[in-house]
Structure 1
Amino acid sequence: MPLPQSALAPEAASTAPALSYRRTVDRGDVHRWAVSEVFLTDYADLTADKYLAAAQLPPAHYYFGDHTGHAADAPDSMLLLECCRQAATCIAHRGLGVARDSAFHVTEWTLDLTGDTPPPAHDRPRELNIEAAVTRSQVRSGTVRAARYVLELSHGGTTFGRCDISARYSPAEEAEIVRRYHRKSAPPLSDSLPAVPPGTPVPPADVARRDPANVALADARHIAGGVAAVVAVPSGHRTHFDHPQDHYTAMILMEAARQAALLVAGTGVRITGYRSTFARFAELDATVRVSAVRRTRDEVAVRFRQHGTVVSEIAVGISGNI
């Protein structure tokens, strides 16, 4: 699908400031504890609801760089999603005034990769430019409670992808009341879970990984037209649980969907994007069941259920079946 025109108006683009790649933004602006997990390096507020951001992709990373096959030759789709998440989170805090202690809930998330990113120049890390157009879809008493981000990704002047993120924001106290009401109890934190999740983990090579710690699925089995498994992530994972979480994040479910798609289609395929909806939180203290079925030649449909209820549906785009 062809990308739309740049999200920036011509006059805004002509006066856009030069972004820096010399240091990262404040880790709190992107919800990270470890500075090594911050990839966003700059941010600029251009006009009303128009923003720029910059990110430097790490040349090596124990999680985002842990790939075999085709994925080892290009920036990880999960890394691009993470850069987009960081950009949207930074804009929410700095541009929209969303309070630091607010609860974030992603409701929809898509990524369309329209081509290969150019190789890094002179063996330097890739530098990512992000143009963002933001729609404040819900404002209550002057406070932004929901927003949609349309992010266009480019490298070296070449646009290669688009990411759309829709998110809701709730004050911390309100979010806690709602979670307790639906759960009937306080949610556990990830650091209270067993270091090694139960079940038989999927072999790393089957999901184009080298390190077993980066496998997100266990108890995989064949079903009609696809596979079934359960989400299984080590509680000490330094990226997924950089800081304690009270649910399986959208990024974790995206990774689980990517791996489920590879189990269905084979590790020789190229990931071309994701179309995701998140209906509710995936709780840590109940099994999250995964089913993945090849819907078309170019797409694997992945569904996540908990207590029999669908919590998320993610369509994974693929190409080049080998």
Structure 2
Amino acid sequence: MRYRQPRGGASDGVVRQRPGLAFQRTVSRRFVHRAAVAEVLVTDAVVLGDDHFLVGSQWPRDHALYHPDVHRGSDPLLFAETIRQALVYLAHWHYGVPLTHRFVGYDMAFEITNPDALRVGGEPMRAELEAWWRWTDKRPPRRYGARLEVRLSVSGRVCGRGSLRVVALDERSYRIVRRRDTVAGLVATARARLPQRVESELVGRLRDKDSVLAPGSSADEWQLCVDLDHAILFDHPTDHLPLMVLLEGFRQLGHLLTHDAVSWASPSCTLVSTVLDCLAFGELDLPTRIVVRESAPRMSAAPAEWRLRLDALQGDTLIAKCDSTWAPVCPETPREPPLNLAAT
């Protein structure tokens, strides 16, 4: 899967303010498949045309997992989670997909095109997604397949783009696709198998429990740690590895690979683009390996960017693959100090 440019919209890099989009409160948590109200990012949506929307989101100034970096840059996975919530919200709110349907992610892509626009300031960030909906496999009432393509803007500046493709299935169809009837034993097995994880600062996280990586059997192999009690990554019970958990594992390994041992406290690279393909269900009771297929700087770029290709496997089954780009962080230019008129 490759990133697709959204159809239509402005071409000058500016999204004009549109009336009617509210940021006063979040939408109901059930419409974005979240158990905790604190994890809801979407605040509102308005219809701009046929299958064309504007979705409002408020990003917190700080977050237990998706926290800003030392240069006050917003966590790019906030963008990914906003895309996920926007698709689920539009599916239920506008298209009437039943709340009881199960959503399965196929692929996700996002790119940060203007990191400076995503600097955390003195209040929560109002992010807007201009979104285009496309049906890919619509067979109501049992199956709804769709792709959402978005353009991200903050304060009128376009600063990112992304897409997500999912299928929503009723319970009977999901059981047929899933091919596993019970998860009780799977959950017990997963909870019993928590290896010693990599120190949180080495993978760009603040808390030890937020690290999802453990050393593997070789320098190019790592183990994904599945902590089902993690309040954010496993916000509610599930019978397989969520897309956002896989994405977090790929992101943390990317951080580990692109940062020098002497610069953990001051990150020199940041994630700017990701293409994630989910190829099979990730089982909770099976060990998950993340294997490095490619890790090299793109010398054609100035300054150099890192290109990473990572695979997630359970046994010999490839369950997901991820291509990502990491770019050097450009510290914010210091502002000129105000004139001290009293001293003149």
Correspondences of 1:175-186 after superposition (within 5 Å)? 175-180=174-179, 183=180, 185-186=181-182
Q: Distance in 1 between matches of 2:85 and 2:106?
A: 16
Distance apart, 1:60 and its partner CA: 1.8
Q: CA deviation at 1:46?
A: 2.6
1:207 to 193, 203, 210: 203
Q: 1:159 to 1:17 in 2, by over 3 A?
A: same
Q: How does 1:1-322 map to 2 (within 5 A)?
A: 7-8=8-9, 16-65=18-67, 69-70=70-71, 73-118=72-117, 123-141=122-140, 145-180=144-179, 183=180, 185-188=181-184, 192=188, 197-220=193-216, 222-223=218-219, 227-266=220-259, 267-292=267-292, 293-297=294-298, 298-320=306-328
**122 and 284 in structure 1: CA distance in 2 versus 1, 3 angstrom threshold:** closer
Equivalent pair of 2:74/2:119 in contact (CA under 8 Å): no
Q: CA RMSD in A?
A: 2.8
- Listed as ranges, the gaps of 5+ residues in structure 1 are none
Instruction: Output the CA distance in 1 between the equivalents of 2:6 and 2:281.
Output: 34
- Larger Rg belongs to: 2
Cα distance, 1:256 vs structure 2:
0.2
In 2, Cα distance between equivalents of 1:235 and 1:121: 30
Please say if residues 127 and 156 of structure 1, whose CA atoms lie closer than 8 Å, have aligned partners that are also in contact: yes
- Superposed displacement of residue 118, structure 1: 2.6
**How high is the sequence identity, in percent, across the aligned residues?**
25
Cα offset, 1:4, TM superposition: 5.5
Provide, for residues 174-196 of structure 1, a one-character-per-residue CA deviation record: whole Å limited to 9, x for no partner.
Answer: 1023312xx4x523488645657
- Check the 8 A contact 1:21/1:42 in 2, yes or no: yes
Asked if structure 2 preserves the Cα contact closer than 8 Å seen for 1:274 and 1:317, the reply is: yes
Structure 2 length as normaliser, TM-score? 0.82
Counting matched residue pairs gives 310
The 3-state SS of whatever aligns with 1:173 is helix
Q: Deviation at 1:97?
A: 1.9
Confirm or deny: 8 A CA contact 1:302 1:315 kept in the other structure: yes
Of residues 293-302 and 56-65 in structure 1, the stretch that sits farther from structure 2 once superposed is 293-302
Deviates most, 96-105 or 81-90: 96-105
